[in-house]
Chain A
Amino acid sequence: MYNFDVVKPERIADAVKELSDSSESQPLGGGQTLIPTLKQRLASPDKLVSLSAIPEMKGVCAGDDGSVCIGGATTHATVAAEASAYPALAATAAHIGDPAVRNRGTIGGSLANNDPSACYPAAALASGATIVTNAREIAADDYFQGMFTTALDEGEIITEVRFPVPEKANYQKFVQPASRFALVGVYVAKYADGVRVAITGASNDGVFRWAEAEAALSANFSADALDGLSLSGDDMISDLHGTGAYRAHLCAVMTKRAVAAAA
């Protein structure tokens, strides 16, 4: 690691100020992605602004509209334990990484990082979540902009994520054998006004929605409705763990399984 300072503000406004004081500063969530990056000397911030001491960014609560609101610095373990109003989301959080990762890693860190194989981006996109920052509210459809790329501006902090609760939902994660991130993960959420399907792990452009599947499932929410639908593997990730064609195949398999399991 290179040397850096750490500050631990207790209010969002102070965190924003600390971040704007220096262009080389960076927010620190659970550190599960950032700390390994620093250890490998792949980043050299001069200051880390820890978000873990800001009470208003932590915890799970119910919004006035019935949505589940999760503070940006809430750990995966807390979501798994407390988001019982949205069981599919709690189950998704419960299968991220291992207990150590879940006890440190945060939803804000995961969404800010937007790893192409991460789980929360699929949950947020399929749920049509709202990403709330210190400055604005961003619809999930506008937020994810490709692998490791989001709508966040420099120094902008995710303070909260609001999930409308669907009638039925399920996340199917087919794990990459080494990292156990999603080789392909499919999140299906059925709302009164239609079905949303978001897929992580597969595409070179990061998390995406599968429009054909959404249309078919909105008409008929059953695995059979997906018969004959497939995605092309051409633009999908091809690596040691599978070709684009294999990933495309898994997208269809996991979507069916998610529909069958949705509750």
Chain B
Amino acid sequence: MPKDGGIGASSKRREDVRFLTGVGNYTDDINVNGQAYVYFLRSDMAHGTLNSVDTSAASAMPGVVRVFTATDFEGVGSIPCGWQVTDKHGAPMQEPAHPVLATGKVRHVGEPIAAVVAETLEQARDAAEAIVVDITELPAVVDMKAALASGATKVHDDLENNLCYDWGFVEENKAATDAAFEAAAHVTTLELVNNRLVANPMEPRVAVGDYSRGTDEHTLYTTSQNPHVIRLLMGAFVLGIPEHKLRVVAPDVGGGFGTKIFHYQEEAFCTFAAKACNRAVKWTSSRTEAFISDAHGRDHVTKIELALDAENNFTALRTETHANMGAYLSTFAPSVPTWLHGTLMAGNYKTPLIYVNVKAVFTNTVPVDAYRGAGRPEATFQLERVVDKAARELGVDPIALRRQNFITEFPYATPVAVEYDTGDYHATMDKLEEMIDRSGFDARRAESEKNGKLRGLGVNCYIEACGIAPSNLVGQLGARAGLYESATVRVNATGGLVVMTGSHSHGQGHETSFAQVVAEMIGIDENMIEIVHGDTSKVPMGMGTYGSRSIAVGGSAMVRATEKIINKAKKIASHLLEASEADIELKDGAFSVAGTDKSVAWGDVTLAAYVPHNYPLEDIEPGLEETAFYDPSNFTYPSGAYACEVEVDPDTGKVSIERFAAADDFGNIINPMIVTGQVHGGLAQGIGQALLENCAYDENGQLLSASYMEYAMPRADDLPMFDVDHSCQTPCTHNPLGVKGCGEAGAIGSPPAVVNAVVDALQSAGKDVTHVDMPLSPDRVWEAMQ
């Protein structure tokens, strides 16, 4: 019986009412009385020496309030990087300065050079055209391998070279791993590209800076997944504003996918300029600006090798990756190809020896950082591709080869520093096999052949690490932040309650699913609970939403705070019921004395807390409000098995996805409908990466795919109906809800399934194709077949 409320119910998303009826409150909906508008003059050159920026004519243009250049930002801090990676020799990464406005040089197309604040946006644009910029063009550094050649042009003149770091993991395992390759019965090698992507949330970024001279208080409204992180980074490191004078609000946010985690120059600019101009300053990114200023994702070039013994057991894995950082280090960029990638290279397999080498490279391109999955899609893609290739080389069934090497005993300590607490990879694979009607595949293939099409089936597994993350652990790994989460539960006198969570919802449906948890714990209606997030003046310091951490970490903090509420409420109830606290039970929103019919309603207890006429004042304080900070003791490890069936048109190379099945293990599930929706969205983005999305630069550092005319986003008709199952559940062992997180799985697990399927289709026609680089656009598939 499906539940109609609480944990496990598919409650409809309450926030959708406002989103779908046009009454959401997005950052661009916020207008401050007297606000001015900023237009950024951005570099159209990838690399050049900035000789001069003459703003005199622009400053005199109609409506111009003030024109800013780098000189206005002397003494202002650099946009900080939140993670320091240590290289294989123990030295810290090379970390360049990242100015708010280009200083000395421009380093990528889209970098802001100057900013015009004017009465209207059009006036600001007009004036920007009157700015005279003198740049001497320098050779653009675009290709990562060329960037590392000796004598290569440097992106940052004050750094030694273009190598951010050369990371080896686990360095101590390297010799043993190499030896295992020497001894291997079979080695499969694959070179591949994990294509650069643009996140493209539906809502582009927006920032509104406001300043009150009366109180010296700054407010920044911004499209962020983590307003407290922005407050800390911008306040402490860039502008020197203490937290108590800086409020950051991230109201309704229309999709983030990682790209709204980071602290961007435009936020610092609007906050700074609001004080400098003594009026609010608003910036709304155009879609064109989004392409050249939002952090991009992925962009790895990898060589992966898998060693097997004579019985087809995986004995060792070795990878070498070049990871593009772009021109500057975005907030979490260094962690993505390292700690979010290397630690996942064991995948679902008990490979005993693993060595991962990552060279992070500066280029004259937009900074690259976390995008849905962040490091884990890159790990999963290469691993699941090389396993598939090995199966084909060895002539064994790809599912059987995987099963043979599955980890089956938990907890399992991988050779790459993480410990999986729980999982059941055979269970999700069993479920998948049941879903895909494998035995009917040959008939479907024959049917496709009749229509002149090649049919292929691709299968893969994935494991990911969510619920980021134990603070002490990530601290050792170089994080410059803690990754706990916070929640305050405020119960009102008449029994309704407000949860102020440090998690942030930008499409995930927290307002619904978080309320379900509290409703279940207390036994009251979900509608009595309001979820508040995204405002540093309301919510205790929290770390925000990314890495599928909200329910696992934010939800756990909320559970802890609610437990405190319940404990205190029980004390009040025991007083009201004149019974021992140990005998008080909470069920269906009422406190009763065990074994009696004496009870008091939730609302009577909450009222007593605020109208403490009959109240144990000598033992406890009035009021009912509790805060908890929850720091997880481990990551969570969702896993699953995915399958994709494609048809390839051999005459054109066009791939169409006929079937897609996903069997996931997310542990316990709060709202199955929301989980299904998260998987659907992730699959759409993963399939988008596999078939369509291609963020490409030419050799001059010009972005070739800078609009939707060239950058193909997945559309509904590119996708099949998804077959999604999450009935395999091994609950997380270390958080109170037993939850694992589901936000990124679809994007992590789907690209290899698609590519495996296309390779299967092409090989079925006798083509000697072992790999095609993503996106598998028609021309690439056709060319691979020639």
- Residues of chain A having any CB pair with chain B under 8 Å: 1, 40-41, 174, 177-179, 183, 239-243, 246, 249-250, 253
Contact = CB atoms under 8 A, between A and B. Distances in A.
A177 B711 CA distance: 8
A183 B709 CA distance: 12
A261 B652 CA distance: 17
Contacts of A239: 704
B783 A246 contact: yes
A210 to B, nearest CB: 17
Nearest to A242: B779
A243 B712 contact: no
B72 interface: no
Contacts of B705: 178, 240
Nearest to B709: A179
A243 B129 CA distance: 36
Interface of B: 122, 125, 129, 288, 651-654, 691-692, 694, 696, 704-705, 708-713, 777-779, 782-783
Contacts of B652: 174, 250, 253
Contacts of A253: 651-652
Contacts of A1: 122
Nearest to B288: A40
Nearest to A252: B651
Nearest to A184: B652
Contacts of A41: 125, 129
Contacts of B692: 177-178
Contacts of A179: 708-710
Contacts of A177: 691-692, 712, 777-778
Contacts of B654: 174
Among A174, A183, A239, A241, chain B packs the most CB atoms within 10 A around the CB of: A241
Contacts of A178: 692, 705, 708-713
A100 to B, nearest CB: 14
19 contacts: A1-B122, A174-B654, A174-B778, A177-B778, A178-B708, A178-B709, A178-B711, A178-B713, A179-B709, A179-B710, A240-B694, A240-B704, A241-B710, A242-B777, A243-B779, A243-B783, A246-B653, A249-B782, A253-B651
A40 B707 CA distance: 12
B237 to A, nearest CB: 35
B710 A240 contact: yes
B777 A241 contact: yes
Pick the most buried of B288, B696, B783: most chain A CB atoms within 10 A of its CB.
B783
Given A41-B129, A183-B778, A250-B652, 17 more contacts: A1-B122, A174-B654, A177-B692, A178-B708, A178-B709, A178-B712, A179-B709, A179-B710, A239-B704, A240-B694, A240-B696, A241-B777, A242-B777, A242-B779, A243-B783, A246-B783, A249-B782
Contacts of B783: 243, 246
A234 to B, nearest CB: 17
A178 B779 CA distance: 13
Contacts of B696: 240
A242 B708 CA distance: 17
A40 B122 CA distance: 12
A241 B709 contact: no
Contacts of B125: 41
A254 to B, nearest CB: 8
B119 to A, nearest CB: 15
Nearest to B708: A178
A243 B783 CA distance: 10
Nearest to A117: B709
Q: Which of B654, B779, B783 has the most CB of A within 10 A?
A: B779
A74 to B, nearest CB: 25
A81 to B, nearest CB: 22
B703 to A, nearest CB: 11
B779 A241 contact: yes
B62 to A, nearest CB: 12
Contacts of A183: 778
B118 to A, nearest CB: 15
Nearest to B711: A178
Nearest to A174: B652
A234 B9 CA distance: 61
B498 to A, nearest CB: 41
Contacts of A242: 777-779
Which of B129, B692, B713, B778 has the most chain A CB atoms inside 10 A of its CB? Answer: B778
Nearest to B694: A240
Contacts of B129: 41
B554 to A, nearest CB: 36
A249 B783 CA distance: 11
A242 B709 CA distance: 14
A241 B652 CA distance: 12
Contacts of A246: 653, 779, 782-783
A256 B50 CA distance: 55
A41 B126 CA distance: 10
Q: What are the 5 A-B residue pairs with the smallest beta carbon separation, nearest first?
A: A242-B779, A178-B712, A177-B712, A179-B709, A246-B779
A179 B777 CA distance: 14
Scoring B125, B652, B694, B708 by chain A CB atoms within 10 A of each residue's CB, the highest score goes to: B652
Contacts of A241: 710, 777, 779
B688 to A, nearest CB: 10
A177 B694 CA distance: 11
